[in-house]
A and B are shown apart, each in its own frame.
Chain A
């Protein structure tokens, strides 16, 4: 089959790889019909996640059709269309039983820090990703959810990661109604966090980014006020808008490749002496009022970052964080999408055939051509924007 293949930092190509096969009785093989590129895939592309091996296939946002199901994945059958959470979860271990499928103990030999994830380095188990014609899906009857017949792939692809992650980010702010929420990052996860913050009762939502077309989208689509951190002193501005105290809650939807500090970028992103830049997280601490909440869903890889933890500690802040346990959010968010309260498809700006995956990555990474969310259509031959 054809699959995306990592060729070293900043390079991906599409190559021939062996077809996936059933390796466990609870596996299924999916013919991938839609695979999105996530902002966190860019951390892999840029060589920031440990144990990202040459030849790996990325892709953890997957919708596809079952080609073959293992003997113990009896509840799915050939022809079923599935949306697949990025977490690979057994459903019965200590954490899965309690709802934390993102912490499953059965799927990652390589590290204690995360469960198995599709196409996200050997630090998360070494699974092949879905940016390919076919993908192996372990525990196919447990994690994935069947796509309703009246919904298209593009309506639901965000339910596999970006939308639940954004929703969880807002949920972790523990809103009681009327609070001011500042969201750092107006990419897909940040935009979904803004929209979710309104659903969860926020009184005011402020988006921070440096990319004007994304801020414009945040105003139109998510109803947020916007600040461009390259045009203002961002912390002073946020405090000025919040009675000089800071926001009740902030969300870091950026992660380890934040702009805003040449020193952090030099040490973390270019020299790779630490695990990327922590500017967004440090700004969250400063932009949140004392006793407020900082919610972190931006991805940070091991081993460590230059985090201004003293500020958070002295300001008595609550820090909430975690990979999203996608499975538990899918049913409710599917209803929000179906009823039009969240138009998830609106974020998809670019559609590429698999053969042009490299172009898709670079357009997304460089924020060219108004790109917000690109998807790959592995069985289509045309580029449609």
Chain B
């Protein structure tokens, strides 16, 4: 590599001598050219795939006539209020703005729900403690 041309902000009129420079100049050496080639299945393809079965609730976005795809993920199923908002969001196709804004809102609600659950033991303890102290104070001043 010609260090004198690098990092100076000056034009590198002589490109650095990196190994292989220019070797993929020929379009036939470019794996993504053309972007779409003649149809041929990938090796080991079994198509159409069998339909996946699952007990997990999975939403499909609401575009009419769209078939549910055969394979899907089952991580983090919907739950609670955020799950209800997500369910409502998925009634709309993804070319509707409200589909995305409702999902982003559901993400925030999910986060609040999660924090509330994490704080729940402390909250319960606090409420019980406050009630106990209040009762003790009430007896003392009676």
Q: Which residue of B lies closest to A324 (CB)?
A: B32
Looking at the complex, which one of A8, A125, A202, A329 makes contact with B72 (CB distance below 8 Å)? A125
Looking at the complex, which one of A94, A106, A122, A175 makes contact with B69 (CB distance below 8 Å)? A106
A198 touching B73 by the CB < 8 A rule? no
Segment from B106-114, B122-130, B134-142 that makes contact with A: B106-114
Looking at the complex, which one of B30, B49, B97 makes contact with A26 (CB distance below 8 Å)? B49
B23 touching A199 by the CB < 8 A rule? yes
A93 to B49 alpha-carbon distance, docked (Å): 10
Interface size class, chain B: 35 or more
B7 touching A127 by the CB < 8 A rule? no
Distance to closest chain A CB from B57 (angstroms): 10
Q: Which residue of B lies closest to A99 (CB)?
A: B37
A92 touching B45 by the CB < 8 A rule? yes
Whether, in the assembled complex, B8 has its beta carbon less than 8 Å from a beta carbon of chain A, the answer is yes
Q: Which residues of A contact B36 (CB under 8 A)?
A: 98-100
B11 touching A241 by the CB < 8 A rule? yes
What 0/1 readout, one digit per residue, does chain A (47-73) give for beta carbons within 8 Å of chain B?
100111111110000000000000010
Within 8 A of A (CB), among B34-77: 35-50, 52-54, 58-61, 63, 66, 68-76
Distance to closest chain B CB from A46 (angstroms): 11
Distance to closest chain A CB from B38 (angstroms): 8
Q: Which residue of B lies closest to A223 (CB)?
A: B16
Looking at the complex, which one of B8, B16, B114 makes contact with A54 (CB distance below 8 Å)? B114
A175 touching B114 by the CB < 8 A rule? no
Within 8 A of A (CB), among B1-47: 1, 5-12, 15-16, 18-25, 29-33, 35-47
Q: Which residue of A lies closest to B59 (CB)?
A: A110
A108 touching B35 by the CB < 8 A rule? no
A199 touching B20 by the CB < 8 A rule? yes
Q: Which residue of A lies closest to B17 (CB)?
A: A223
Looking at the complex, which one of B21, B68, B114 makes contact with A8 (CB distance below 8 Å)? B114
Interface size class, chain A: 35 or more
B15 touching A223 by the CB < 8 A rule? yes
B50 touching A96 by the CB < 8 A rule? no
Looking at the complex, which one of A91, A92, A168 makes contact with B32 (CB distance below 8 Å)? A168
A107 touching B71 by the CB < 8 A rule? yes
Q: Which residue of A lies closest to B54 (CB)?
A: A23
A227 to B86 alpha-carbon distance, docked (Å): 44
Q: Which residues of B contact A171 (CB under 8 A)?
A: 24, 30-33
Q: Which residues of A contact B47 (CB under 8 A)?
A: 90-93
Q: Which residue of A lies closest to B29 (CB)?
A: A332
A27 to B106 alpha-carbon distance, docked (Å): 31
A26 touching B46 by the CB < 8 A rule? yes
Distance to closest chain A CB from B71 (angstroms): 5
A171 to B21 alpha-carbon distance, docked (Å): 14
Q: Which residues of B contact A219 (CB under 8 A)?
A: 6-7
Q: Which residues of A contact B86 (CB under 8 A)?
A: 51, 122
> Assuming A51-B86, A92-B47, A101-B42, is B18 touching A195 (CB within 8 A)?
yes
Q: Which residues of A contact B88 (CB under 8 A)?
A: none
A225 touching B6 by the CB < 8 A rule? yes
Whether, in the assembled complex, A88 has its beta carbon less than 8 Å from a beta carbon of chain B, the answer is yes
Whether, in the assembled complex, A153 has its beta carbon less than 8 Å from a beta carbon of chain B, the answer is no
Q: Which residues of B contact A201 (CB under 8 A)?
A: 21-22, 24-25
Q: Which residues of A contact B49 (CB under 8 A)?
A: 24, 26, 90, 92, 106, 139
Additional 9 contacts, C-beta under 8 A, given A196-B24, A241-B11? A8-B115, A50-B107, A110-B59, A112-B94, A113-B94, A123-B103, A139-B71, A199-B23, A336-B20
Task: Give 10 closest A-B pairs by Cβ, nearest first.
Answer: A92-B47, A127-B73, A91-B45, A91-B42, A223-B16, A126-B73, A201-B25, A303-B100, A128-B75, A8-B111
**B residues lining the A interface (CB < 8 Å):** 1, 5-12, 15-16, 18-25, 29-33, 35-50, 52-54, 58-61, 63, 66, 68-76, 78, 82, 86, 90, 93-94, 97, 100-101, 103-104, 106-108, 110-111, 113-115
13 cross-chain CB contacts under 8 A: A26-B71, A54-B114, A56-B75, A75-B44, A98-B38, A99-B37, A111-B61, A138-B71, A171-B31, A175-B25, A198-B22, A237-B9, A328-B31
